[in-house]
Amino acid sequence: MVIDLITREDLNEFRNLLLNDLKQLIQPQSLQEKKWIKSYEVRKLLNISAGTLQNLRINGTLAFTKIGGLMYYKYSDIEKILNGK
């Protein structure tokens, strides 16, 4: 008869592996995978105020699509602004 003992180290290792797996499942989709992002995400990425974002929309620097009351921006357009193009 073979007896396997589970040590505290084994349990801690299992716990860490389980927590890492759960974190990967729960984490929100990264911005690079998103095609469209919302206004608050754009403001956070560009570190700008709501007024500055509105000015970018008005002067045509940043294209947007309005669906209902929300405005969406293409992630590729945000990347262009971040890269200075």
Q: Transcribe 21-52 into DSSP letters.
A: HHHHHHSPPPGGG-SEEEHHHHHHHHT--HHH
CA dihedral 23, 41, 35, 73 (to 10 degrees): 170
Structurally, the chain folds into a number of domains equal to: 1
Model pLDDT for residues 2-25, shown as the tens digit of each residue:
888 899 999 999 999 999 888 887
Q: Is residue 69 part of a domain?
A: yes
What is the pLDDT, as a whole number, of residue 80? 86
The range of the structural domain enclosing residue 66 comes to 35-82
pLDDT at site 28: 63
32-51: per-residue pLDDT in tens? 567 899 999 999 989 999 99
Res 84 pLDDT > 90 = no
Determine, yes or no, domain membership for 29. Answer: no
State the burial class of residue 74 (Cβ atoms within 10 Å of its Cβ: 0-12, 13-18, 19+): middle
Q: pLDDT-based confidence at 30, cuts 50/70/90?
A: low
Q: Which residue has the higher pLDDT, 62 or 29?
A: 62
- Whether 20 maps to a domain, the answer reads no
